[in-house]
Structure 1
Amino acid sequence: MTAAALPRVSAIVLAWKSEPWLRRCVHALLASEKADVDVVLVDNGCTDDDVRFLGELDGVTVVSPGRNLGYSGGNNAGAEVATGEYLALINGDAVVEPGTVARLVEELTTRPEVGIACAAVRLAETPELLNSSGNMIHVLGISWVGGLGEPETRTAPTEVAGAMGAGLVLRKEHWDRLGGFFDSYFAYHEDADLSIRTWRLGLKVVNVPDAVVLHRYEFSRNTNKFYLVERNRLIFVSTLWSTRALLLLSPALLGLELAMVALAIKEGWIRDKVRGWQWLWAHRADLRARRKLVRAEQSVSDKQWMRVLTHQLNTPLIQVPPIVLRPLNAVMGLYWRVVRALV
């Protein structure tokens, strides 16, 4: 295949602080096989000379917003200057295998029902184990990586609720149709938002086991992460779930909120939880406008798209003893069955 016939992919990579894998990440993308890949490198506050060095390479475009736009805003800024027919979102601490980008593009071109194709993300230190086989999304809005620490046993792509933002490809046309990420997320849940909005358009999100990305994964438990994760969960649910679904799920949503308050008090980040509520109240008009926008774009029924959600709570974000978790999941399963019938 000639260079002109190769699929053109713009890979957006964010540079934040000092990332030891950033140069490996960009070089691996530029060395991709069977795809014409250029890199849009967004300087979100790089603290070493990597952006200057990488910006001198052929095929690299640097975007310098002058401040940290977060994952949401940084990718939006990169997408504005992207020229490829396809967009790849790749973490700066992730390295693609030579055929990964082309394999994800192939999934999109051969299966028009697929809106987002995401990589099988492996743990860099133990590459035989998964970091994510696709993200799980709970009926109450919690999202977490699926298959963490498990060996890869799949031989074909699988449908997943959410794409992990560390490694995914979608058509630029699809990105533009959705308007990219919601800037206000800043970080966390924006990939869940993009995925669910894709499902709500009648398109699928798939994870491709033979499209491999190695990820230098570190699970952070800093209080600002919990502030963002909890605040963004409420943004996510309140803007994408229908009024009927919110009413039907309100007892469980209230129960989860009380549980998160108890957890925040126990672990010492209750001020961050309260700060999240304050942000939501201060931006309630923006959230109403956002809800109106995303509800209007939906083209399939809630009953159809909500089938991708799970009632099982097995996230590393919330440590629940098995003696509590098993009956909790059993009760939630029965509850969700009723809600699914009525939504």
Structure 2
Amino acid sequence: MTIDVGVVVLAYGDEPWLTECVEAVLDSKDVEVDLVVVDNGCTPEHLAPLLGRDDLRVLAPGRNTGFAGGCNLGVGRTSGDVVVLVNSDCLVAPDTLSRIADEGARPDVGPVMASVRFADRPDVLNSAGNPVHVLGTCWAGDIEEREYRTEPFDVPSASGACLAIRRSLWDRLGGFDDSYFAYLEDTELSLRCWRLGLSARCVPTALALHHYEFSRNPTKMYLLERNRLLLVATLWSGRMLALLAPFLLGLEVALLLLASAQGWGREKVAGWRWMATHLRHVRRRRRLLQAERRVDDRTWTAVLTPALAPHVVGSTAAARPVNLVVGLYWRQVRRFL
């Protein structure tokens, strides 16, 4: 059975893989593709090959709407029972969209991601679902590992690099929160679904080859940290925030010291300033997300982890004592959720 899918690809800045990404999407099997490319400020030479084509539409908002806003705009201009988001530097296999759309069409499932692999090493994982820490940090799961699984499996957070979700569910959730702009909006979407009793999943046989380049710059760190605060402030219940308060406050102090040492201290402070000056939005968002929850905290927080991956902290030696203390504490306080 052919599934109708609305596919959104964002284009920003230099996009050397954009045309290949689009061609791969349009070559997908067993799906009827309605493709929208959102021009968030793509270089003209990389966008030009797509203009005037009758097998896709280019949407030009006239400004950089970010990943969250651009996806929302693009989805609103597509048709299909399933929404699919594909990064502009991802090349999907011919059966990838049908595999994740089939899984995502199940009524007990939320967002479904492809197995995101490194494009230059297709047998090595870039992400097989993203772990989410009890303090809100998120990272690429199983990165640099090989994939041996063949059946779909649950993940804490499905990566937006190549993701499918039922349109009815997307509409129910209202899509992404535009204020995230970029980073962690897919984490929020996944956790919201877990709180509704729907699982986030990964299909290991659905391949998305990612031309991934790791980057760390002050703007990215600002968005990651600000969005982590927004995620925790709106999704974590009052009881969770109270129980985790010592570690949440301790993390803020530690991150400010680290940020100052690494040259993005101003951006860390700017994240606090944004939260303080957007309290109306934070409160409104919190009321919405707290009211929609259908699963108790003790159940849905089982998808969170108290253990940071060594590469997130910097080394195994640094991660071990932190994980030991937070892990022991979390196991104790979860009884009170």
Report the equivalent of 1:135.
130
Distance in 1 of aligned mates of 2:300 and 2:53? 43
Distance in 2 of aligned mates of 1:55 and 1:195? 33
Of 2, 9, 12 in structure 2, the residue corresponding to residue 16 of structure 1 is: 12
**What SS does the corresponding residue of 2:134 show, helix, strand or coil?**
coil
Paired residue type of 1:39: L
**What SS does the corresponding residue of 1:134 show, helix, strand or coil?**
coil
Is 1:105 aligned to 2:101, yes or no? yes
Where do residues 58-77 of structure 1 align in structure 2 (5 Å cutoff)?
Answer: 58-77=54-73
Distance in 2 of aligned mates of 1:98 and 1:296? 40
Of 192, 203, 215 in structure 1, the residue corresponding to residue 210 of structure 2 is: 215
Distance in 1 of aligned mates of 2:185 and 2:104? 21
After TM superposition, the runs of 4+ consecutive aligned structure 1 residues lying more than 2 A away are: 48-53, 55-59, 315-318, 321-324
Of 25, 48, 65 in structure 1, the residue corresponding to residue 21 of structure 2 is: 25
Are the counterparts in 1 of residues 156 and 200 from structure 2 also a CA contact under 8 Å? yes
Are the counterparts in 1 of residues 115 and 204 from structure 2 also a CA contact under 8 Å? yes
Paired residue type of 2:332: V
**What SS does the corresponding residue of 1:59 show, helix, strand or coil?**
coil
**What SS does the corresponding residue of 1:78 show, helix, strand or coil?**
helix
Report the equivalent of 1:238.
233
**What SS does the corresponding residue of 2:44 show, helix, strand or coil?**
coil
TM-score of the aligned structures, taking structure 1 as reference length: 0.96
Is 1:38 aligned to 2:34, yes or no? yes
TM-score of the aligned structures, taking structure 2 as reference length: 0.97
Report the equivalent of 2:180.
185
Is 1:165 aligned to 2:147, yes or no? no
Are the counterparts in 1 of residues 82 and 104 from structure 2 also a CA contact under 8 Å? no
Distance in 1 of aligned mates of 2:310 and 2:72? 28
Are the counterparts in 2 of residues 8 and 85 from structure 1 also a CA contact under 8 Å? yes
Paired residue type of 2:210: H
Are the counterparts in 1 of residues 84 and 162 from structure 2 also a CA contact under 8 Å? yes
What is the total number of aligned residue pairs between the two structures?
A: 337
Task: State the Cα deviation string for residues 94-137 of structure 1 (Å, max 9, x = none).
Answer: 0100000001112133x421111110000011111000000111
Task: State the Cα deviation string for residues 130-154 of structure 1 (Å, max 9, x = none).
Answer: 0000011100000111011111121
Distance in 2 of aligned mates of 1:13 and 1:129? 24
Structure 1 residue 59 displacement after superposition: 2.4
**What SS does the corresponding residue of 1:145 show, helix, strand or coil?**
coil
Gaps of 5+ in 1: none
**What SS does the corresponding residue of 1:127 show, helix, strand or coil?**
strand
Distance in 2 of aligned mates of 1:45 and 1:318? 34
Gaps of 5+ in 2: none
Distance in 1 of aligned mates of 2:113 and 2:239? 31
Report the equivalent of 1:330.
324
Are the counterparts in 2 of residues 135 and 162 from structure 1 also a CA contact under 8 Å? yes
**What SS does the corresponding residue of 1:153 show, helix, strand or coil?**
coil
Distance in 1 of aligned mates of 2:261 and 2:128? 31
Are the counterparts in 2 of residues 189 and 229 from structure 1 also a CA contact under 8 Å? yes
Greater mean deviation of Cα atoms: 42-51 or 76-85? 42-51
Of 66, 85, 91 in structure 2, the residue corresponding to residue 89 of structure 1 is: 85
